Every structure is written in C-alpha cells, then in structure tokens.
Structure 1
Amino acid sequence: MAAKRVLLIDDNEDNRTLVKFALEMNTDWEVLLASDGVKGVTKAELERPDVILLDVIMPYLNGLEVYEVLKNNLFTCAIPLIFITATTQTKVIAKLENTLATGVIIKPFDPLRLDTQIAKICNWNLESIGKTVV
C-alpha cells in the first residue's frame, strides 16, 4: 500500500516542524507543509493529499475560510480535513464539529500519538500503512 500523504496548513513554523517530525518518525507518511491558507489551498489542489490538517487561527484566511474554499473546490472537496486548534472555547469547538470536517484535534496534542489520532479519525489501519508497532 502506498504511503499516506498528509498536508499540514499552519502558520506557526514550530508547529509545522513538530508535526512533520512526529508523523515521519512514527510512520512512512509523507508530510507536506503550507504556511498559510492561500498556499495550503494551492498545495491541496496540486498534491491531492490523503488528509489535510488545518490550523484554525491563521492570518489572511483563517481555518474556517480555508475549509470553505477547500470544500467548494472540485479538486479538494473529497479530501478528509481535520481541524487542529488551540482554542478551548465551547462555541468555537461546536462550530468546527458542525462542519463536514472529518475531525478536530485540540492543541496541545501528544506528538507521539498524533499518528494514532489521525488514523483513528480517518479510519486508517496503522499496521497496514507502515507504522512500526512495538
């Protein structure tokens, strides 16, 4: 089975580095990165990843705006999307959960379990996609 391709759209360089390292250390997934919503939409159209991890609070286009663009785009509308957010506001979490997004991951997350969280949300079997099981 081909390795999964994950696109992370996040304006925070430290978050991008952490997620890329954590996922590539524990899986054979390819992690693609975009530093803002506009670049993320373009990369999603060109690369067609297996899942998109989308930060909510970003400049220019916030996560919900990027979500709307992706879900209304013929090339990206079927890609599963997982919001990643540091907000703990119940209203915001409810709004994210009421979208057609595949899931929501709350920061701070455990980088060593991030692959498991993503796989569970996407209904992927980690053993069949290259995770080292110990």
Structure 2
Amino acid sequence: MPDTVLERILMIEDEPDIRTVAALALEDIGGFDLTTCESGTQALEQIDECRPQLILLDVMMPGMDGPATLKAIRDLPGYTETPAVFMTAKVQSDEIESYLAQGAAGVIPKPFDPLTLAERIRGIWNQDCTIG
C-alpha cells in the first residue's frame, strides 16, 4: 500500500444509531469523506462510487454478515488489498484472532468512543501502511 493520507472510508453498519454516531465522529471530528451503508448488499452496490481506501464494517448484520461482506468485497477487482476494520461487541481473543485471520487490519470494540474513533482508525491505517 502506498504511503498516502486516509481520506475515503466505507462504513457498513445495520444499526442507524451507530451509523449516526460514527458518521459524526468520522466526518465532523475526523474530517473523512464517509460513505455509509446499512447492509453488505448495499455496500457491494455502492463501493465503486465511493472508491474507499478503508472499509469499516460491523460483524453481526442480518443477511450478509461482516465476514461474508468482506469476502465478497475481496472478490471484486481492485479491493483485494483494501484495509478492512471490524467494529464489534464480540471481542474475545479467539474472535479477534479469527477476524484478523480473515484479513482484517484491525478490530474496534463496541461500544466505541466517538471522540477517539477517527484517531484509532488513523492508527490502524498507518500501521497497515507500514506493513505494506
């Protein structure tokens, strides 16, 4: 991954309240260009419009869950290496290891602190950029 500044994030989250809080945290506090989707299916339909540099996704969603959504995104041309971060309340050590084994660059536990969310995502982005 090139040494670039993170600007565009695609967030996939089925809970409207979490989408709202995260959007405030990432757009207003973090200054990111954020596209939000309420399902994996919607994300697959909109991903080429927003061309995300990073994907932030919920693990537990109806229909297509987070891991299935990430797998589908990875199958799309141009998104095999796009860093993905899971946001979830399921953060036992074996669960975190499973998310990382599925190709996640990081895991952010829910509930998250809206004041530090953008900073945490930048930290994951910078770590991922240095791994390269």
Look up the SS of the partner of 2:69 in the other structure: helix
Deviation string 1:7-53 (CA, Å, 9 cap, x unpaired) is 11000000100000111221321111100010012222332111110
Consecutive aligned runs of 4 or more in structure 1 exceeding 4 Å deviation: none
Residue 123 of structure 1 aligns to a residue in which SS? Answer: helix
- Provide the TM-score with structure 2 as the length reference: 0.85
- Equivalence for 1:101: 104
Give the AA of the match of 2:26: L
Secondary structure of the residue that 2:64 maps to in structure 1? coil
User: Is 1:65–2:68 an aligned residue pair?
Assistant: yes
CA deviation profile, 1:95-115 (whole Å, cap 9, x unmatched): 102122211111111110001
Shift in alpha-carbon separation, 1:103–1:2, aligned structure 2, 3 A: closer
- Which deviates more from structure 2 when the two are superposed, residues 75-84 or residues 11-20? 75-84
Q: State the partner residue of 1:84.
A: 87
Amino acid at match of 2:42: K
Q: 1:8·1:52 contact (CA, 8 Å) conserved in 2? A: yes
* 2:35 matched residue in structure 1: 32
State the identity as a percent: 33
The alignment of Structure 1 onto Structure 2 pairs a total of residues equal to: 124
RMSD of Structure 2 on Structure 1 (CA): 1.8
Instruction: Indicate if the aligned counterparts of 2:6 and 2:125 stay in contact, CA closer than 8 A.
Output: no
| TM-score under structure 1 length normalisation | 0.84
